């Protein structure tokens, strides 16, 4: 099951990062989104990232040009008909994902592996929307994708061993470190990370300390590269809320209840870096 051509669905923060690392590792990439402007925005993020590496002398102009020319733009899902692997990084919405996977199942050749970059939705349920659940798998990259080494590879209930192996090999070829995980709410990464972020928000909500103090405790006391509130802004507060809701619903345990302050910020449209305001302001 050799992978040569990959379609990445969703040209946002995650999708563009995934497309960049795949192209930089020599794969042919089709970067797909609903509108041309979304694809162009993703391409321009990739250019910005690669240019930064060129400026730092870590990448040659020739290698940058080679990476860029490996990425084909797409707004037509039919372009999935000749790819070996699809990595879906669209919005975190089960209905959208199942509809997309059902459509991909019809378009893609029998052998194509369908992977999702979902941060917490059940792989098994996404797989059930297709006639090839054994070829559906989770491939969870971390943000920023070009920098973070981890790829959580999630086996759905029916995922075939051969498919797991192919995806694990590909993650290694991307110079990432794959970790095998079974399909449970939040997998491993977000089951551990999000309750910590949620607890940091409760700590702020209850007036235990200022946001800066909370972040300093975790940064300087635990050597985290970012404090939990800065990290929440970086991930997006809507995403954090969505993952907490998935954990709360999936386990039915009140310890996963999202903090009311998180709900309030999301309702206000304070979504973190991407909206210009979250726990901190960004100009």
Instruction: At 154, list the tokens.
Output: 């999630």
The count of residues interacting with ligand CAA (CB under 6 A) is 19
User: What is the C-alpha separation between 124 and 155, in angstroms, rounded?
Assistant: 8
| Three-class secondary structure of residue 128 per DSSP | coil
Q: Which of residues 120-179 bind ligand CAA (CB under 6 A)?
A: 142-144, 146-148
Beta partners for residue 187, in sequence order: none
Closer by beta carbon to ligand CAA, 108 or else 121: 121
Identify which of 224, 232, 225, 208 has the alpha carbon closest to the alpha carbon of residue 280.
232
**Residue 235 binds ligand CAA, judged by CB under 6 A:** yes
13 is in an annotated binding site: yes
The catalytic residue positions are 119, 140, 152, 190
User: What is the C-alpha separation between 92 and 13, in angstroms, rounded?
Assistant: 13
CB of 145 to ligand CAA, least distance (A): 7
CB of 187 to ligand CAA, least distance (A): 9
Using CB under 6 A, pick the residue from 67, 130, 190, 246 that binds ligand CAA: 190
Strands 136-141, 150-155: pairing kind: antiparallel
Identify which of 44, 126, 134, 54 has the alpha carbon closest to the alpha carbon of residue 90.
126
**Residue 111 binds ligand CAA, judged by CB under 6 A:** no
Question: Which residue carries 């051969």 as its tokens?
Answer: 162
CB of 95 to ligand CAA, least distance (A): 20
Residues 162 and 137: beta-carbon distance below 8 Å: no
CB of 136 to ligand CAA, least distance (A): 19
CB of 62 to ligand CAA, least distance (A): 18
Instruction: At 79, list the tokens.
Output: 């372009």
- For 224, counting Cβ atoms within 10 Å of its Cβ (0-12 exposed, 13-18 middle, 19+ buried), the class is middle
Closer by beta carbon to ligand CAA, 51 or else 131: 51
Angle, alpha carbons 94-273-116 (nearest 5°): 25
Closer by beta carbon to ligand CAA, 84 or else 238: 238
Q: Which of residues 38-67 bind ligand CAA (CB under 6 A)?
A: 49, 52, 56, 58
17 is in an annotated binding site: no
Torsions phi, psi for 21 (to 5 deg): -70, -35
Write out the binding residues for NAD(+): 10-15, 33, 92, 97, 119, 143, 274
Residue ranges in contact with ligand CAA by CB under 6 A: 49, 52, 56, 58, 119, 142-144, 146-148, 189-190, 193, 225-226, 231, 235, 239
Binding positions are: 10-15, 33, 92, 97, 119, 143, 274
């Amino acid at each position: 099951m050799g992978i040569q051509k990959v379609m990445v669905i969703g040209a946002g923060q995650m999708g563009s990062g995934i497309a960049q690392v795949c192209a930089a590792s020599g794969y042919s990439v089709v970067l797909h989104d609903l509108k041309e402007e979304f694809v162009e925005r993703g391409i321009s993020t990739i250019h910005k990232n690669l240019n930064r590496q060129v400026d730092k002398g870590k990448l040659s102009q020739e290698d940058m040009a080679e990476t860029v020319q490996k990425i084909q733009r797409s707004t037509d899902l039919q372009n999935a008909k000749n790819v070996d692997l699809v990595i879906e990084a669209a919005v975190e919405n089960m209905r959208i994902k199942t509809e997309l996977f059902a459509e991909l199942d019809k378009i893609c050749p029998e052998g194509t592996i369908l992977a999702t970059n979902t941060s917490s939705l059940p792989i098994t349920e996404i797989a059930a929307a297709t006639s090839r659940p054994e070829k559906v798998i989770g491939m969870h990259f971390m943000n920023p994708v070009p920098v973070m080494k981890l790829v959580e590879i999630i086996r759905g209930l029916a995922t075939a061993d051969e498919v797991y192996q192919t995806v694990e090999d590909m993650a290694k070829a991307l110079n990432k470190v794959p970790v095998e995980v079974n399909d449970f709410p939040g997998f491993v990464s977000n089951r551990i990370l999000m309750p910590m972020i949620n607890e940091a928000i409760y700590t702020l909500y209850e007036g235990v300390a200022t946001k800066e103090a909370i972040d300093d405790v975790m940064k300087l006391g635990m050597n985290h590269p970012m404090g939990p509130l800065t990290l929440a802004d970086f991930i997006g507060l809507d995403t954090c809320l969505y993952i907490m809701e998935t954990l709360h619903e999936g386990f039915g345990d009140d310890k996963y209840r999202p903090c009311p302050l998180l709900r309030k910020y999301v309702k206000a449209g304070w979504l973190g870096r991407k909206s210009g305001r979250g726990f901190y302001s960004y100009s």
